[in-house]
Amino acid sequence: MCGIVGAVSAKDSTPFLLKGLATLEYRGYDSAGLALLTSDGVSGLQRARSKGRVAELATLVKQQTFSGNIGIAHTRWATHGVPAERNAHPHISGKLALVHNGIIENYESLREQLQGLGYVFTSDTDTETIVHLIQACFKGLIGEPAENLFSAVQCAVVHLKGAFALAVISEEEPDCLVVAREGSPLMLGVAEDGYYAASDASALLSVTKRMMYLENGDVARLSRDAVLVVDGIGQMVERAIVTSSLNANAVELGDYSHYMQKEIFEQPQALSNTLEMISGAGQLQPGIFGAEAAEIFQQVDSVLILACGTSSYAGMTAKYWIEQVAGIPCNVEIASEYRYRQSVPNPDQLVVVISQSGETADTLAALHHAKVQGHNCTLAICNVPESAIMRETALRFITRAGPEIGVASTKAFTTQLSALFLLTLLLAKVKQRLSAEDEKVYLDELRHLPIAVDKVLALEPSIEKWAQHFSNKQHALFLGRGRHYPIALEGALKLKEITYIHAEAYPAGELKHGPLALVDSEMPVVVVAPNDEMLEKLKANMQEVSARGGQLYVFADGGSAMKPTEGVNVQLMPEHYGLLSPVLHVVALQLLSYHVALVKGTDVDKPRNLAKSVTVE
Ligand code: F6R
């Protein structure tokens, strides 16, 4: 989704801005742009925009020999208005230039008001409204005339409804950059040679690890050697400087061809890191979820999981674990639905929000909604320690997958599953449903998980052979039962995201209630078929497919007694893994999708129309 970088530096900011944009490319975008000013004010506002890749923008900037100490830059993911140069940011009003992430919900009425004041719009964006609005505040056409850019921005943000992070510069004040945030992430970088801003910490790592996270409502003025922050009620505030734990190397591709490939293969390490706290533990302590965890787990009588996309499938898998092992009810809701639904709140329910990024707008809004409804027992499972979600719950657990750059989530998902299994065990323990013996067995299984995943990764060459069979297909079905149904859903999501093959997942028992009508010899049907309590039922469902000529691609394991036959392809998983088998099976499905995408030649890391962090509704 859109990305922002900005700088006020003693040196030329152009290289930082372009590098920052390149770092943000993974979030998904369709156009890019930047604007620069020199601090002597001589060269005036310089702007370059291009529809397409950051590399094209960099060529443009080079051709036009742009430079400047002060600058703002942006990658745009189209919401209002098609991807086109005229809609790319920065947008200009007189001597102001502005970049923006988020969505302004009242932009139509503002646009009308501003047109009435004589402003001419050149784009279809909601963003252009903001830059004219700041100009109007500056001139006193709305409110009292502002003394400077900083107060004009403070005046303007009051009129905005929706979510935004914005950065603005003015030719008339070539010594500063003004930023503001409400709902969308924005952080400042504190470096020797100046102050920087970005919507994602990874974009700041090339200049500093010292970061200042702005709160909702903050407006800040950055100059070469100072930063001034005021909060939503206009009071001067100090925001703490923290040293980011992100490692610049962690976001490099290294020897891999794609981030998705790198991240699939990083899973054993990501799981070891996430489970480090249990490496030598004889038993589990609730404290791994936060200081108040023991008390809260004792109090809760059920669980409500809120998440989107892949993270919601992690939640759906956990529902099977929590109900079976901990014996308490667990519901999973898509965050974008829950936030608008009239539900029946239960203050003794543990609300768990799961998010890789910790910035997903719908998940954050669902959490806010739950809190307003009186839910105080809240837990975040998230991969980004400094994210918004992590600051808003009573309990938290950081999955230590490391930065996930590929748009399609892989290592975040498996580490979420490991965290949710820990949660299951702790709830079971607190509810006295877990014997010391079982606790030890499960802990051993968790500790062995990275090795088990490693063995699945070794199957890559034989999974790769299946990829050819999918590459010319228009559709695919994925089947699973029980705790492997969410894995079928996740497998189908991976395939559709990165190969654009239409894929649907069903609990296999549902086949004959409709989807069986789709099955013919052209339909590949992927089945997640470990040797568990549902296997015999699943085999009967597979017969239904075979009888209609469907081509089966079955991920089974040793005890499944399944052999390849005409129309039935079987991939045996290295070991059967009981309750944790979803973690192994999903890795095999990730590899399948990855290789189908390679055969099809699609953009694996940046699939069309998708963004990494979905910070707008
Ligand atoms: C799919 C994928 C998305 C995300 C979803 C939620 O591969 O990555 O479905 O899972 O957008 O994102 P987070 O987990 O950051 O809240």
Q: For residue range 389-403, what is the model confidence (pLDDT) as tens digits?
A: 998 999 999 999 998
Per this entry, what is the length of the chain?
617
The residue whose C-alpha atom lies closest to atom 11 belonging to ligand 1 is 309
Mean of pLDDT over the chain: 94
pTM of the entire predicted model: 0.81
Architecture of domain 3-249: 4-Layer Sandwich (3.60)
442 vs 65: which has the higher pLDDT: 442
pLDDT score at 10:
93
Active-site residue list: 2, 612
The answer, yes or no, to whether residue 616 has pLDDT greater than 80, is: no
Ligand 1 touching residue 363 (CB < 6 A): yes
pLDDT score at 588:
98
Q: What is the mean pLDDT of residues 544-555?
A: 94
**Please, which pLDDT band fits residue 281 given cuts at 50, 70 and 90?**
confident
The answer, yes or no, to whether residue 249 has pLDDT greater than 80, is: no
**Please, which pLDDT band fits residue 617 given cuts at 50, 70 and 90?**
confident
Q: What is the mean pLDDT of residues 305-309?
A: 98
In this chain, the answer to whether the domains covering 259-457 and 460-600 adopt an identical fold is: yes
Q: For residue range 325-384, what is the model confidence (pLDDT) as tens digits?
A: 999 999 999 999 999 999 999 999 999 999 999 999 999 999 999 999 999 999 999 998
Q: What is the mean pLDDT of residues 47-56?
A: 92
Q: For residue range 471-512, what is the model confidence (pLDDT) as tens digits?
A: 999 999 999 999 999 999 999 999 999 999 999 999 999 998
The answer, yes or no, to whether residue 160 has pLDDT greater than 80, is: yes
For 460-600, CATH number out of 3.40.50.10490, 3.40.50.2300, 2.40.30.160, 3.40.1520.20 equals 3.40.50.10490
- CA 374 to ligand 1 center in whole angstroms: 26
Ligand 1 touching residue 360 (CB < 6 A): yes
Closest ligand 1 atom, residue 360 Cα: 16
pLDDT score at 279:
81
pLDDT score at 166:
97
Q: Which residue has the tokens 């974008």?
A: 336
The amino acid present at 95, given as its one-letter code, is: K
Q: Which residue has the tokens 């005339």?
A: 145
The answer, yes or no, to whether residue 247 has pLDDT greater than 80, is: no
The CATH number assigned to the domain with range 259-457 reads 3.40.50.10490
Cα–Cα nearest to 395, from 293, 284, 286, 274: 293
**Please, which pLDDT band fits residue 185 given cuts at 50, 70 and 90?**
confident
Q: To which H or E segment does residue 452 belong?
A: helix 436-457
- CA 157 to ligand 1 center in whole angstroms: 29
Of the ranges 42-46, 355-359, 533-537, 564-568, which one carries the lowest mean pLDDT score?
A: 42-46
The answer, yes or no, to whether residue 387 has pLDDT greater than 90, is: no
Q: For residue range 88-127, what is the model confidence (pLDDT) as tens digits?
A: 999 999 999 999 998 888 999 999 999 999 999 999 999 9
- CA 480 to ligand 1 center in whole angstroms: 21
- CA 353 to ligand 1 center in whole angstroms: 12
Ligand 1 touching residue 415 (CB < 6 A): no
If one residue of 311, 357, 390 were mutated to test the ligand 1 pocket, choosing by the most ligand atoms within 8 A of its CB, it would be 311
**How big is the CA angle at 183 (ends 16 and 81), to the nearest 5 degrees?**
75
pLDDT score at 611:
79
Q: Which residues of 174-201 are buried (b: 16+ CB within 10 A; e: fewer)?
A: bbbbbbbbbbbbbbbbbbebbbbbbbbb
pLDDT score at 419:
98
Q: Sketch the domain layout of the chain as residue ranges.
A: 3-249, 259-457, 460-600
